[in-house]
């Protein structure tokens, strides 16, 4: 990490938010068939782009229905302090998510100081409504080699160079390709097990307080603060 610029890339569902928001929407508004599609994705039979497209097509809810559900979702209690710490150290942070803009924006604008959000780019998929039903919309004409809805490694590559120390923070299997692309991954949940099984450089974490403490310790050791 010495002589390199640290950059944070952060998953949203289950990482910034305390629950997986996409699963929450599916559990509340979709038919049980979404779980069959989820199983196909978990077994590697389909990519997350096909998975989410099929799952969102099963949702029967309007914008206000979804908005009311999202009003109950909380973010990690230390995330805002993490953003303040990163800003104070001039370390950029970017959200990279397989989730949807509608959910992420609703939750962040309610939970996080607006001045912090101005410097927090979000790369994700989109939800569009037609005839009162949502539709999943993805960036780019075709998916990556893994069929990702939002290719996180592609985002990391676009926003970094060889002088950067790339830190990824995540919790689930949709983060596994990003973890392989990062210099260091903070992992919990299924991502932690994946990193352990595949000998990916990582640190376990519980919440963003752990990552704040790492920032302070590592950068102090390098004489950065």
Write out the two tokens for 76.
């990690």
pLDDT digits (tens, 9 = 90+) for 48-76: 999 999 999 999 999 999 999 999 999 99
How do the domains of the chain map onto residue ranges? 5-221
Q: Once rounded to an integer, what is the mean pLDDT over residues 166-170?
A: 97
Largest CA distance in the chain: 57
- Coil vs helix vs strand at 40: helix
Rounded to 5°, the CA angle 144-33-141 comes to 20
Q: How confident is the model at residue 145 (pLDDT cuts 50, 70, 90)?
A: confident
Q: Once rounded to an integer, what is the mean pLDDT over residues 169-183?
A: 95
Q: Does domain 5-221 match CATH 3.40.50.1000?
A: yes
Q: Once rounded to an integer, what is the mean pLDDT over residues 171-182?
A: 95
* 40 CB neighbour count, 10 Å cutoff: 14
Name which of 22, 159, 24 is nearest 96 in CA terms. 159
Per-residue pLDDT at 224 exceeds 90: no
The model's pTM is: 0.92
What residues have CB less than 8 Å from 171, skipping those under 6 apart?
Answer: 11, 13, 14, 15, 187, 188, 189, 190, 191, 192
Distance of CA 127 to CAs 49, 62, 99, 110, 210, Å?
13, 11, 9, 19, 32
Residues in the chain, overall count? 225
Q: Once rounded to an integer, what is the mean pLDDT over residues 29-34?
A: 96
Alpha helices in the chain (DSSP H): 21-29, 33-42, 48-56, 63-70, 79-88, 101-111, 114-117, 152-159, 176-181, 189-197, 208-221
Per-residue pLDDT at 3 exceeds 50: no
């Amino acid at each position: 990490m010495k002589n390199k610029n640290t950059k944070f890339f952060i998953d949203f569902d289950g990482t910034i938010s305390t629950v997986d928001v996409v699963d929450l929407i599916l559990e509340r508004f979709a038919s049980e068939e979404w779980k069959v599609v989820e199983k196909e994705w978990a077994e590697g039979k389909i990519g997350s782009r096909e998975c989410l497209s099929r799952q969102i097509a099963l949702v029967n809810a309007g914008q206000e229905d979804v908005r009311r559900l999202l009003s109950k979702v909380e973010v990690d209690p230390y995330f805002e302090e993490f953003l303040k710490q990163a800003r104070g150290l001039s370390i950029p942070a970017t959200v990279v998510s397989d989730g949807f803009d509608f959910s992420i924006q609703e939750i962040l604008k309610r939970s996080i100081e607006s001045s912090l959000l101005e410097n927090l780019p979000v790369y994700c998929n989109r939800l569009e409504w037609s005839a009162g039903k949502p539709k999943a919309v993805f960036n780019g004409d075709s998916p990556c080699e893994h069929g990702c809805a939002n290719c996180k490694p592609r985002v990391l590559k676009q926003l970094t160079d060889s002088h950067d120390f790339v830190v990824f923070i995540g919790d689930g299997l949709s983060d596994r390709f990003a973890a392989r692309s990062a210099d260091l991954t903070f992992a919990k949940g299924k991502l932690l097990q994946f990193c352990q099984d595949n000998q990916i450089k990582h640190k376990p974490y519980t919440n963003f307080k752990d990552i704040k403490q790492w920032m302070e310790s590592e950068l102090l050791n390098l004489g950065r603060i």
